[in-house]
Amino acid sequence: MADLCIAVIIGRLTRDAELKYTSNGQPVSHFTVATSSRKKKGDQWVDESNFWDVDLWGKQAENISQYLTKGKLVAVEGAMRQDRWEQDGQQRMKVLISANSVNFVGGNTSNGGTRAVQQPQQNNQYQQPAHDETMPPGDDFTDDIPF
């Protein structure tokens, strides 16, 4: 049985996602998510930030990349993996998250947390519902329950 290393993070995008295609036409989106936590050091609380490189593959990468813009709050779930390479004679390594899913958190809250929702045009005339919504159709039972 293979071991499993799953990550679930919620954080903000540090830059717009970059959509690319591999040589065989497979779409992949690259982006970075910043997370933060507070830890107590001595008498003071200290904020600690972490930056996670994320790869998202396939149709979801194509569909969502244009909406993955700097500052958006996202939830990412995926497998953690190590990317290793050699640079200038030095062995390098970084941890990546290969995302299975990316979801937006908190609705459309760009620009300082205000919600940019277009309100439908209001019609001030009251319209009678097509049927009585308090009782399901065909429910003529009006007897009292015997207890």
Give how far Cα 2 sits from Cα of 12, 96, 124, Å. 31, 19, 62
Q: What was the pLDDT predicted at 140?
A: 56
User: Mean pLDDT over residues 101-120, rounded?
Assistant: 59
Q: How many CB atoms lie within 10 A of CB 120?
A: 6
pLDDT at 128 over 60: no
- Domains annotated for the chain, with CATH where assigned, are 6-104 (2.40.50.140)
Please tell me which residue, 1 or 65, carries the higher pLDDT value: 65
Give how far Cα 127 sits from Cα of 58, 94, 123, 130, 131, Å. 46, 61, 10, 9, 12
Residue 61 DSSP label: H
User: Mean pLDDT over residues 37-60, rounded?
Assistant: 93
